[in-house]
């Protein structure tokens, strides 16, 4: 069965960077876009961007251009998102989600807390 | 960016009641390829969102058939025919026709 297993919670300092992962299993990793979505506490969902692991193509929400960098490792079927120059506004839960029939599979989410 | 306006923001229902959620788009979501990339998600408390309906009206595998989607162009509706306790949570519409993908603000379904 399809599973997206995300890395654990992160507590990071302002101004630093963090890289979170999303390990896919149960399907052909290189055949589907992987999207990343942000959810701030008590808020709705915000689309960050996607990567197509088959060729590494990416597309970003302009709002996150320069903030988020999406990569993928085909050998380990893992997608990554690096967030840079972190501020308190980046404290949120970050989800990865496969897009097949819409956003059909989601990771469990990674809580990133930015605090000194 | 496409704005998706969901109404109502909060919905109070009794078990067995039928309810509808509206999602209106600031632009037509009909893609040039003929598909309409409008989907519905449910996020239960403390959980990741899950897909309920994709491409306006197609029921995701494993989702009860009390859920149905309809609409076209800019107006879309999710209907729950007979709310059950497990349906409580926040419902989101999401569009993938126009970049960037955008989500509605959500509709919270509560028990009355």
Going by pLDDT thresholds of 50, 70 and 90, the confidence category of residue A20 is very high
At B112 the pLDDT is 87
A111 pLDDT more than 90:
yes
Residues making up chain B, counted from first to last: 112
Inter-chain CB proximity B104 and A61 less than 8 Å: no
User: What parts of chain B have a pLDDT lower than 50?
Assistant: none
Identify all chain A residues contacting B51, using CB atoms and an 8 Å cutoff: 101-105
Work out the pLDDT band at A52, boundaries 50, 70, 90.
Answer: very high
Averaged confidence pLDDT in chain A: 97
pLDDT at B34: 96
**Nearest residue of chain B to residue A108 (CA atoms):** B48
What integer pLDDT is reported at residue A42 of this predicted model? 83
For residues A79 and A25, give the distance between their C-alpha atoms in angstroms, rounded to a whole number: 11
Q: Residue A43: what pLDDT?
A: 87
A59 CB neighbours in chain B (<8 A) are: 99-100
């Amino acid at each position: 069965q399809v599973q997206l297993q995300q890395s654990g919670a992160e507590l990071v300092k302002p101004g630093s960077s963090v890289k979170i992962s999303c390990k896919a299993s149960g399907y052909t990793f290189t055949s589907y876009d992987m999207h990343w979505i942000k959810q701030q506490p008590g808020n709705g969902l915000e689309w960050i961007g996607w990567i197509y692991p088959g060729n590494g193509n990416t597309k970003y929400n302009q709002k996150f251009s320069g903030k988020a960098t999406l990569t993928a490792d085909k050998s380990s079927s893992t997608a990554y998102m690096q967030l840079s120059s972190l501020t308190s506004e980046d404290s949120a839960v970050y989800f990865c989600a496969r897009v097949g029939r819409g956003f059909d599979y989601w990771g469990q989410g990674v809580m990133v807390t930015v605090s000194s | 960016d496409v704005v998706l306006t969901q109404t109502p923001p909060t919905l109070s229902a009794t078990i067995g009641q039928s309810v509808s959620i509206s999602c209106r788009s600031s632009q037509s979501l009909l893609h040039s390829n003929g598909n309409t990339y409008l989907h519905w998600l449910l996020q239960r408390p403390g959980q990741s969102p899950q897909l309920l309906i994709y491409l306006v009206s197609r029921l995701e595998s494993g989702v009860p058939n009390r859920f149905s989607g309809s609409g076209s162009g800019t107006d879309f509706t999710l209907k729950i025919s007979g709310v059950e306790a497990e349906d409580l949570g926040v419902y989101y519409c999401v569009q993938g026709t126009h970049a960037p993908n955008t989500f509605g603000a959500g509709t919270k379904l509560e028990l009355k």
